[in-house]
């Protein structure tokens, strides 16, 4: 079996660490592993499969000979990584938003538009976490009934803002319990016991960065520029997994049962829809899961026969980031005859 040299840029962050867990869990065919982070992490190492891997900084020498490089750092580092990799044959799968909106760079969720990866594709953008979770649940409905319009409101976990944000919530829990002042660095205000507007910058149109990503990215992933879609993104004091309340209007009249039937037969989706027991998707149920949870599918009483509500939950560190990125690599390996991964030596 072919094995691959893998590099992870941002290996000490929440997405990078999740990716390491998934490489192990899914038994990704690994030949060699190189782990990168900032200067401040030099001297640290990460234990993986009973071996200590030292953290390195990215440069032409350290990044050479990787078949796959996963970007799990900022846009700036994503661009720097891509610049270094330009002269190599590596495939760069980037979790940042640095390349998502470039027309010639595919923005990929394998089960929806994996075919966008062509022979010679060297950079693949991994979509925004909220957009991935939403798109995975809506795609099968769109394919069956045609989606006309989407309105999504989110309840997003703090880990979506990285390691430091997660630490901030945990610190505030301890500080609160000791009656100490709460330290606030990442979020604009206290996140403990507080539901607040997403912390990304608000643009001139009144939509914050996260909302704009969801709107633009779902259209690009679905190759559906005319999709009517709007979003409100909210941060809630949970550690992990995003929940999304979604209202849709479909083109072809259908029933709740028909929507549930379509979702039942979709890989990557799990239905949790038990009104009698009030058992529906939640952030805790979605945490550490690879599947996107969907439930509370019901008719929108304010709309015609074509309006529905859904509740979706997904682990944004898994399907919303690391898992989707790894699935892209797995997809490429599966398509090896079409997409050649040079440097596969074994």
Residue 7 in contact with ligand NAP, rule: CB under 6 A: no
From 23, 37, 109, 312, residue interacting with ligand NAP (rule: CB under 6 A): 37
* Distance from C-alpha of 171 to C-alpha of 165, rounded to nearest angstrom: 10
* Distance from C-alpha of 139 to C-alpha of 61, rounded to nearest angstrom: 41
| Closest CA relative to residue 233, chosen from 217, 209, 256 | 209
From 114, 162, 268, 307, residue interacting with ligand NAP (rule: CB under 6 A): 162
* CB-closest chain residue to ligand NAP: 13
From 6, 35, 63, 77, residue interacting with ligand NAP (rule: CB under 6 A): 77
From 6, 14, 291, 333, residue interacting with ligand NAP (rule: CB under 6 A): 14
* Distance from C-alpha of 4 to C-alpha of 22, rounded to nearest angstrom: 15
**Range in contact with ligand NAP (rule: CB under 6 A) among 111-119, 160-168, 184-192, 260-268:** 160-168
**Closest CB 119 distance from ligand NAP, rounded Å:** 27
Site for ligand NAP in 289-328 (CB under 6 A): 316-317, 320-321
Provide the 3-class DSSP secondary structure of residue 201.
Answer: coil
Q: Which is nearer to ligand NAP, 131 or 250 (CB)?
A: 131
From 163, 171, 290, 303, residue interacting with ligand NAP (rule: CB under 6 A): 163
| H/E segment holding residue 166 | helix 163-177
Q: Which is nearer to ligand NAP, 95 or 199 (CB)?
A: 95
Site for ligand NAP in 47-76 (CB under 6 A): 58, 72-74
* Distance from C-alpha of 197 to C-alpha of 333, rounded to nearest angstrom: 40
| Contact yes or no for 308/247 (Cβ under 8 A) | yes
Could you list the active site residues?
A: 129, 242
247 forms beta bridges with: 151, 309
Residue 10 in contact with ligand NAP, rule: CB under 6 A: yes
| Closest CA relative to residue 326, chosen from 10, 12, 21, 59 | 21
From 96, 144, 212, 266, residue interacting with ligand NAP (rule: CB under 6 A): 96
From 13, 114, 307, 314, residue interacting with ligand NAP (rule: CB under 6 A): 13
Provide the 3-class DSSP secondary structure of residue 220.
Answer: helix
**Range in contact with ligand NAP (rule: CB under 6 A) among 162-170, 189-197, 206-214, 258-266:** 162-170
Residue 16 in contact with ligand NAP, rule: CB under 6 A: yes
**Closest CB 84 distance from ligand NAP, rounded Å:** 11
**Range in contact with ligand NAP (rule: CB under 6 A) among 3-11, 193-201, 298-306, 328-336:** 3-11
Q: Which is nearer to ligand NAP, 240 or 270 (CB)?
A: 240
CA torsion 30→36→41→47, rounded to 10°?
Answer: 0
Exposed, middle or buried by CB within 10 Å (0-12, 13-18, 19+), for 43? exposed
From 159, 266, 287, 327, residue interacting with ligand NAP (rule: CB under 6 A): 159
**Closest CB 299 distance from ligand NAP, rounded Å:** 32
| Contact yes or no for 78/125 (Cβ under 8 A) | no
What is the x/- site pattern for ligand NAP, positions 112-151, by CB under 6 A? -----------------x----------------------
How many Cα atoms occupy the beta-carbon half-sphere of 239 within 13 Å? 14
- Could you list the beta-strand ranges (E) of 67-199: 68-71, 91-94, 123-125, 147-155, 196-197
**Closest CB 327 distance from ligand NAP, rounded Å:** 14
CA torsion 63→66→68→74, rounded to 10°?
Answer: -10
- Tell how far CA 186 is from the center of its chain: 20
* Distance from C-alpha of 279 to C-alpha of 314, rounded to nearest angstrom: 16
Q: Which residues contribute to the site for ligand NAP (CB under 6 A)?
A: 9-16, 36-38, 40-41, 58, 72-74, 77, 95-96, 129, 159-160, 162-164, 316-317, 320-321
């Amino acid at each position: 079996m072919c094995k691959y040299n893998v590099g992870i840029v941002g290996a000490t962050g929440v997405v990078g660490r999740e990716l390491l867990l998934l490489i192990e869990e899914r038994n990704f065919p690994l030949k060699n592993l190189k782990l990168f982070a900032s200067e401040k992490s030099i001297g640290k190492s990460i234990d993986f499969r009973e071996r200590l891997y030292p953290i390195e900084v990215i440069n032409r020498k350290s990044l050479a000979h990787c078949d796959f490089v996963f970007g799990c750092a900022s846009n700036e580092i994503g661009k720097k990584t891509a610049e270094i990799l330009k002269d190599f044959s590596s495939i760069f799968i980037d979790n940042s938003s640095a390349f998502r909106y470039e027309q010639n760079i595919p923005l990929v969720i394998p089960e929806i538009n994996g075919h966008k990866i062509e022979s010679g594709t060297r950079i693949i953008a991994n979509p925004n976490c909220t957009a991935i979770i939403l798109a995975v649940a809506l795609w099968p409905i769109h394919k069956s009934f045609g989606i006309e319009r989407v309105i999504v409101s989110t309840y997003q976990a703090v880990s979506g803002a990285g390691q430091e944000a997660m630490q901030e919530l945990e610190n505030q829990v301890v500080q609160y319990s000791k009656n100490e002042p709460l330290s606030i660095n990442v979020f604009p205000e206290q996140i403990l016991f507080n539901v607040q507007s997403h912390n990304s910058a608000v643009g001139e149109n009144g939509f914050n960065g996260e909302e704009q990503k969801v709107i633009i990215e779902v259209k690009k992933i679905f190759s559906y520029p005319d999709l009517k879609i709007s979003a409100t993104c909210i941060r809630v004091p949970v550690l992990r997994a995003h929940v999304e309340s979604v209202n849709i209007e479909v083109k072809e009249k259908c029933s709740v049962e028909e929507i549930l039937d379509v979702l039942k037969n979709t890989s990557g989706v799990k239905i949790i829809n038990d009104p009698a027991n009030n058992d529906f998707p939640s952030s805790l149920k979605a945490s550490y899961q690879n599947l996107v949870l969907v439930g509370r599918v019901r008719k929108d009483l304010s709309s015609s026969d074509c309006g529905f509500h859904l509740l979706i939950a997904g682990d944004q560190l898994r399907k919303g980031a690391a898992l989707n990125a790894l699935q892209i690599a797995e997809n490429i390996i599966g398509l090896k005859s079409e997409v050649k991964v040079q440097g596969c030596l074994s």
